[in-house]
Chains A and B, each alone.
Chain A
Amino acid sequence: DAKTTQPNSMESNEEEPVHLPCNHSTISGTDYIHWYRQLPSQGPEYVIHGLTSNVNNRMASLAIAEDRKSSTLILHRATLRDAAVYYCILLSGTYKYIFGTGTRLKVLA
């Protein structure tokens, strides 16, 4: 299973955009890029996923590099409720969701 690399932590001011990076240089052509987040004392929750094209949903946007070796999760206006650990995962045809240690996002009021 291909691995991902994320910064351990990031900070953002409230109501400002946040760009969370993820490197996945060993991604294969059929791997989906998934993002999950884990709020304190809760299980992870799905945020967004994509294959090749950029994706938008009500929670966030996902920007995928043209060579697919990196991606960026974009929160357009961070709120205090967005403080969480964000995980970038590559999903292959085995459907095994392998988590790394993620990025802990701190949102400053």
Chain B
Amino acid sequence: DAGITQSPRHKVTETGTPVTLRCHQTENHRYMYWYRQDPGHGLRLIHYSYGVKDTDKGEVSDGYSVSRSKTEDFLLTLESATSSQTSVYFCAISEGDRVNTEAFFGQGTRLTVV
């Protein structure tokens, strides 16, 4: 299994509080991604990173920010959590080259905003 660790795995937080989710990889992959998954939807891309300090928005980036100061860590921050951000969040990594293109996913973080 690819070395991807998401923390925390479960979190309950109150509306209006800041929340940071961490994704840590041991594979030295260039690309890292944050997705959310809600009932009735597939995975939706929030933000992704193509290198240290290089990030870009995905499909549903409003209300989220990210940072990548080291190759191995990609942080997702909800500056002021809302109930609509209750979801399961998945981190993914990929090498980002034309030969090895598969992505590997973490086990997910279940976030509940009350």
A: residues with CB less than 8 A from B are: 32, 34, 36, 42-46, 49, 85, 87, 91, 95-102
Contact = CB atoms under 8 A, between A and B. Distances in A.
A84 B104 CA distance: 17
Interface of B: 31, 33, 35, 40-45, 48, 50, 58-59, 90, 92, 94, 96, 101-108
Contacts of A49: 101-102
A106 B50 CA distance: 36
B108 A101 contact: no
Contacts of A36: 103
| Overall SS of chain A's interface | loop
Nearest to A101: B42
B84 to A, nearest CB: 19
Nearest to A30: B98
A99 B108 contact: no
